Amino acid sequence: MVAHFIVVLFTGFMVYTAWPGSSLFSWHPTLMTIAFCCLMMEAILIFSPESSLLGSATRKTKAKFHWIFQVSAITCALGGFSAIFANKWLNGYPHFTSWHGLTGISTIVYICIQALGGVLQFYPHLAFGIKLVDLKKYHATSGTIAFSLAVATLVLGMFSSWFTSVVTGTAWYACAVCPGLLGFIVTRQVMNSILPHKK
């Protein structure tokens, strides 16, 4: 349950800090945090044997909610991307000139491709002969990479002039640690619960 506590605390703090609606830019950190640290994280935790909010549900039910959370996360991420793209375009700023911007666009592209991998699990006959059990393993592993990219993007965003001007000192370090902890939890979950164990 520690993971859920971090999700709520970090997402709440970021939304409060960004104050959505105060400017066009404010929707970028708001929607990206909700997308990755809240919706995507909860979508992954659904399959956790320790932290799932649907612990007694069937695998089919968990997969359904995973899909709903992930589609919502991608929608929010695309909204956050649109907000920063429009903000830069309207103000005449260049796009993708920082590591945050480059990892950000890479993450957006990757999660869209990752989503297609998830769709293949509903239609395994389209998976070029890959067995469903292997497809699930590849999807879980690739999802870990996608979430790691999101974590890297979030942390790099904390070095931006906007974030360093509104969050300083201990609060900044606490914010920088939170995505890393979530990334560790996801990686551990995939290693222990989804990928095969060595005997």
Would you say the pTM of this structure is higher than 0.85? yes
34 in Cβ contact with 93 (< 8 Å)? no
Q: Give me the pLDDT at residue 23, please.
A: 97
Q: Which residues contact 126 (CB under 8 A, 6 or more apart)?
A: 120
Q: What is the mean pLDDT of each run of 10 residues along the chain (199 residues)?
A: 94 97 98 98 93 90 95 98 98 96 97 93 83 88 96 97 97 96 94 64
DSSP letter at 129?
T
pLDDT at 126: 83
